[in-house]
A and B are shown apart, each in its own frame.
Chain A
Amino acid sequence: MTRAFAWIYLAVALGFIFLPVGMLVLFSFQDGRLPVPPFNGPSLRWYADVLGDRRLMSALGNSLIVAAVSSAIALLLGFLAAQALARYRLPGTLLMRVVLIAPFTVSYLIIALGLLTLYNRTGIGLSLWTAGVGHVVINLPLCFAILYAAIGDHHRNAERAARDLGASEVKVLALVTAPMLMPSMLAAFFLSFTFSWDEFIIAFLLTRFDVTLPVEIWSLLRSGLTPRANAVGSLVFLVSVSLLLLLELTVFRKVRR
């Protein structure tokens, strides 16, 4: 591949990748009713409109709560399971790994339909938490896999030392293992968080009156092209990217050192 061709390909590819998001952000500053050329502005009226919209803001709050709680549960369960399978010689370890990873290879739509069937059969009413349960299901394999890969032999030695000094098993986990795995724990938590707070189909099928932000945005999109959707989309993008930058600058920088 010649050098010039490589740079042209890179430029075109980046252009393609940034074209839609660029238009999204640009026309969120549109001073007019339609987010299409010609561009008039910049104006912040759609941001003011979105930030003053009570339904969107309460959906935003719901999303943050569901993401935080479901990621925390997924992280805790994944951490304990990873520790168990990495440390103890349990019969059927391979089978357990397969079961724990399995939801990762199944479409969210199928997970949502399964849970919907379960809730219908058992008469459980739909709420934010019935969707949250689904978010734990999709994020548990991720947390488990990340932490399982991160646990190494040097952790084992530190744990042994702590036990020899009389620490209880709970103390070993909370005060030795967890802090040593902190970078991976944070990575697993934040990845789960971004997946959960951006997830649509499970939240759409398993919530009823209180909905999450993606579901609320979906009903906004049904009215066609509007700069309000651009403004919400740009804000969501900003939050996700800030979270990732934070992660990159704190956790991953330390890991590489």
Chain B
Amino acid sequence: MARAHDNRQGWGLVAPALIWTTAFFVVPFLMMLALSFAKMEGRSVVTGFFPDNYIRIFTEPSLLRGLVVSLEITVTVTVISMVLAYPLAWIIAFRVPERWQRLVLILTILPFWTSYVVRSYSWLLVLGQNGVINKTLMTLGVISEPISMSASRFATVTGFVHFFVMLLTLTIYANLKELSPNYARAAQDLGAGRLATFRHVILPLTLPGLMTGAFLTLVLCIGDYITPQILGGNNELTLPQLIMMQLGRRGDFPMASAMAVVLMGIVTLAYLFSARWLRIDRL
């Protein structure tokens, strides 16, 4: 066997993808990391190894606030989405007749494919001052003045939860269908009630899927700019909004880079925390 020859072919096949990922992902990231240690003097960038940007992120109240707001929103969204999606996936997997399941599942995730930019906008139609909810409640005479719901954290969270309930329902459903019904049967034969079966058998078995879904939610939620920008109003800004502000109005690339590195750090920490449940390679 010409083993060396074979391997050369293998390297040739994998090389283009590796080169692309290195040139346009790894190297740019390292350049951004280097830039995050530079600082601005006037309108020009002074390269070097200054920790100034990082010190500012963790000490300046307006910047630190962005970090806290991002974390709060992400955790709220992840928890609410999981709590809402789990029963939905359960019902589709075990209550909806087998032949209708695929149809119901497709329906459940259909709005997932609305344009990403337009999805948040469409919540404005529902939650806005003149939106459907306010108009309906006023016509019914429940309220006399419109309630303000848009331009708030409530609106941001609603927009996010809407998106992630769809995503999580899909992953949890796949997880539940993988389970053999024998586990539940065995638990019940051994005298476990329905609740005990769920708590001690079903939930632990679906934990890897849940954690993968939660991690995906965290990555997508904490890095999102559009949803808080359209729905959140100006009272509080998230980390991605602050990053875009540095790029736009201030032209402070080093600061934007440092904030992006912090964002990446949070995701990495979350990954390390949940790594033993995650099966990223199986996604």
Whether A and B are associated in the same complex: the answer reads: yes
Name the B residues within 8 Å of A54 (CB-CB).
none
Contact A140 B118 (CB under 8 A): no
Does chain A have a CB within 8 A of B25? yes
Point out residues on B near A: beta carbons under 8 Å.
6-7, 9-14, 16-18, 20-22, 24-29, 31-32, 35, 84, 87-88, 90-92, 95-96, 104, 106-108, 110-111, 113-119, 121-126, 128, 130-132, 135-136, 162, 165-166, 219-220, 222-226, 230, 240, 243, 247, 253, 256-257, 260, 263-264, 267, 271, 280-283
Name the B residues within 8 Å of A16 (CB-CB).
162, 165
Name the CB-closest residue of B to A113: B260
24 A-B residue contacts at CB 8 Å? Answer: A9-B91, A10-B95, A16-B165, A20-B111, A23-B122, A38-B135, A81-B18, A84-B12, A88-B13, A89-B10, A90-B7, A96-B18, A99-B18, A100-B18, A101-B280, A107-B223, A109-B263, A117-B32, A134-B24, A149-B282, A200-B226, A221-B118, A225-B130, A248-B106
Point out residues on A near B: beta carbons under 8 Å.
1, 3, 6-7, 9-10, 13-14, 16-21, 23-24, 27, 34-38, 76-78, 80-81, 83-85, 87-90, 96-97, 99-111, 113-118, 120-121, 133-134, 136-137, 140, 144-145, 149, 169, 194, 198-201, 205, 213-214, 217-218, 221, 225, 229-230, 232-233, 236-237, 240-241, 244, 248
When chains A and B are docked, how far (Å) is the Cα of A1 from the Cα of B194?
A: 9
Given A23-B126, A103-B25, A121-B31, A110-B223 contact (CB < 8 Å): yes
Contact B121 A221 (CB under 8 A): yes
Name the CB-closest residue of B to A36: B130
Name the A residues within 8 Å of B110 (CB-CB).
18, 21, 241
Name the CB-closest residue of B to A106: B264
Q: How far is the CB of A3 from chain B (nearest CB, A)?
A: 7
Question: Quick one: which of A88, A105, A144, A232 contacts B280, CB cutoff 8 A?
Answer: A105
6 smallest beta-carbon distances between A and B, as pairs: A107-B223, A88-B10, A114-B28, A233-B118, A84-B13, A81-B17
Question: Quick one: which of B95, B104, B130, B282 contacts A1, CB cutoff 8 A?
Answer: B95
Contact A83 B111 (CB under 8 A): no
Question: Quick one: which of A20, A113, A217 contacts B125, CB cutoff 8 A?
Answer: A20
Contact A90 B253 (CB under 8 A): no
Contact A233 B166 (CB under 8 A): no
Given contacts A24-B118, A81-B17, 7 further A-B contacts (CB under 8 A): A17-B111, A17-B166, A27-B125, A89-B10, A100-B21, A109-B263, A236-B115
Q: How far is the CB of B244 from chain A (nearest CB, A)?
A: 8
Q: How far is the CB of A13 from chain B (nearest CB, A)?
A: 5
When chains A and B are docked, how far (Å) is the Cα of A108 from the Cα of B240?
A: 11
Contact B263 A200 (CB under 8 A): no
Name the A residues within 8 Å of B117 (CB-CB).
200, 214, 217-218, 221
When chains A and B are docked, how far (Å) is the Cα of A28 from the Cα of B154?
A: 25
Name the A residues within 8 Å of B87 (CB-CB).
1, 9
Q: How far is the CB of A188 from chain B (nearest CB, A)?
A: 13
Q: How far is the CB of A221 from chain B (nearest CB, A)?
A: 5
When chains A and B are docked, how far (Å) is the Cα of A244 from the Cα of B22?
A: 32
When chains A and B are docked, how far (Å) is the Cα of A37 from the Cα of B87?
A: 33
Q: How far is the CB of B241 from chain A (nearest CB, A)?
A: 10
Contact B125 A23 (CB under 8 A): yes
Contact A84 B113 (CB under 8 A): no
When chains A and B are docked, how far (Å) is the Cα of A36 from the Cα of B139?
A: 14
Contact B27 A118 (CB under 8 A): yes
Q: How far is the CB of A238 from chain B (nearest CB, A)?
A: 10
Contact A115 B95 (CB under 8 A): no
When chains A and B are docked, how far (Å) is the Cα of A145 from the Cα of B283?
A: 7
Contact A35 B125 (CB under 8 A): yes
Residue of B113, B123, B126, B128 with most chain A CB atoms under a 10 A cut-off: B113
Name the CB-closest residue of A to B271: A105
When chains A and B are docked, how far (Å) is the Cα of A140 from the Cα of B26?
A: 14
Name the CB-closest residue of A to B216: A105
